[in-house]
Amino acid sequence: MSISMSREELDRAYNNSLAVADSAKIIEAWGVASNAVRANNASHNDLSYGDGHTISFDYFSAGINTPVVAFIHGGFWQNRAKSDFTFLVPAIVQAGISVAMLGYRLAPFAKMNEIVEDVRTGIRAVIAHVTQEQGQCPDIWVTGWSAGGHLAAMVLNEPGVKGVTAISGIYDLEPMRHCYINDKLALDEKMSKDYSPMLLPQTSDKIIDLFVGGAELGEMQRQTIDFAGYRKKCGAPGMYNNLPGLNHYTILDELGHNNGKILASIKARVL
């Protein structure tokens, strides 16, 4: 896309924490809930798949031969960690779905190509782990939020991935290249093009279900709307869902609650 907004306008257009007045309290509550879940699962936390603390995953089993969902955290590829989102796990496991929470290297210590490759390697590691535990692994469903939505879309073609649910994601990286996010991300024009799902061929045999909140920033909503339109034009399968009243943070309630709309969508895909 051509960029018509100034740097200052783009900075505001993609500053989710500034747009949601109580975002700090929401994130703090996520941390408290996540710590409680992790404390009861210590033996399956931080399973390494490479060098470095963040190159690891946590695994929460719902039982032998259950479907597996891999969750990719957000944070504009430079913040947050898998452990911040463990609060999502109980509802998913109670639905009869095992969960792998993927970590990956963050900018500025990794470039976008390295981050995407980490996620690909992490998915392979989850498949290997489940196979070792029970002799086989079903194709896994990948979901991600914010930057994790982008990463989930980027690994749709990875062998062993059944489909994707992308939540409030970024699918065109060019605006990132022109705002504050690039101070650490350090995208150049080529990297922006090569790793924008909006500019890549879309497979016609794997689903991407897209969710975004109706109370999110206009640019966040546009990213999802545009990607949904692009995939439809390509004949690629999946749903587009704008959830009224939900912002960039409260939308995750729809995955982390037993009666959540996003969780119901994933259950319909994998159970």
Tokens standing for 102? 């993927």
Domain boundaries along the sequence of the chain: 7-270
CA 216 to chain centroid: 16
Tokens standing for 63? 């039982």
pLDDT score at 2: 61
pLDDT score at 112: 98
pLDDT score at 261: 98
Q: Which CATH architecture has domain 7-270?
A: 3-Layer(aba) Sandwich (3.40)
State the average pLDDT for the chain: 96
Report CA dihedral (13, 19, 25, 27) to the nearest 10 degrees.
-20
Distance separating alpha carbons of residues 185 and 111, to the nearest angstrom: 7
pLDDT score at 51: 87
The pLDDT tens digits of the residues spanning 185-237 come to 999 999 999 999 999 999 889 999 999 999 999 999 999 999 999 999 999 99
The pLDDT tens digits of the residues spanning 33-58 come to 999 998 888 778 999 999 888 999 99
